[in-house]
Amino acid sequence: MNLAGNRVIIRRAGKRDEEMLRHLIDDPKTVKVTGKYPRPMSYNHQIHWFCGSAGDVRGIIAQKERPEAGLGIILLSHVDPTEKTAEIYIKLTRPARGKGYGRDAVTVLVSHAFFGMGLNHIRARILKNNQASIRLFETCGFKEESACGCAGSGDGENRTVCVYGISLPDGE
């Protein structure tokens, strides 16, 4: 799988991505706005999970000019071919944020979901305190659909999860 945007490609994960994946798991500022894993994750476990699950699209975001260096991850999961829906998730390394890579990656993956996979609705679940992700998805055309206070943060605090969605434009 290689999906190309204007500035990024979305490619398969490999050994070269170990440090970047570990950084995304361990970065306390990322964990604060995305939630943490329930237990420590080894690189092998991360790669096995990242490459698994039939029907899902899981990729490394990289610059077109430097495809070997990962900038983050993007996932299309919970793909339901009957309902023609899926969920999208993205995590970027801190140095890659705010530079348009996320917007390009989300746009590429949503286009692939609609026109390559035949889906008609994509949702993103975002913690309400993650304003950068909310802005990213709104910029990409997602609209808030609902919110609920149901995500445990690991510190005993419940947080509000906002669900944003985008549908295949009529007539396409």
What's the gap between Cα 29 and its chain centre? 17
Comparing CA positions, the residue from 74, 72, 87 lying closest to residue 145 is 87
What is d(CA 80, CA 120) in angstroms, rounded to the nearest whole number?
10
What's the confidence (pLDDT) of residue 58?
Answer: 87
**pLDDT tens digit sequence for 137-155:** 999 999 999 878 664 555 5
Could you count the other beta carbons within 10 Å of the beta carbon of residue 76?
22
Q: Which residue has the tokens 């996320």?
A: 102
Length of the chain: 172
More confident residue, 108 or 29: 108
Closest CA to 20 of 57, 46, 48, 49: 46
pLDDT range class, residue 15, cuts 50, 70, 90? confident
Query: Which position has the higher pLDDT, 44 or 96?
Result: 96
d(CA 118, CA 131): 30
Band of residue 48 on the pLDDT scale cut at 50, 70, 90: low
Q: Which residue has the higher pLDDT, 5 or 41?
A: 5
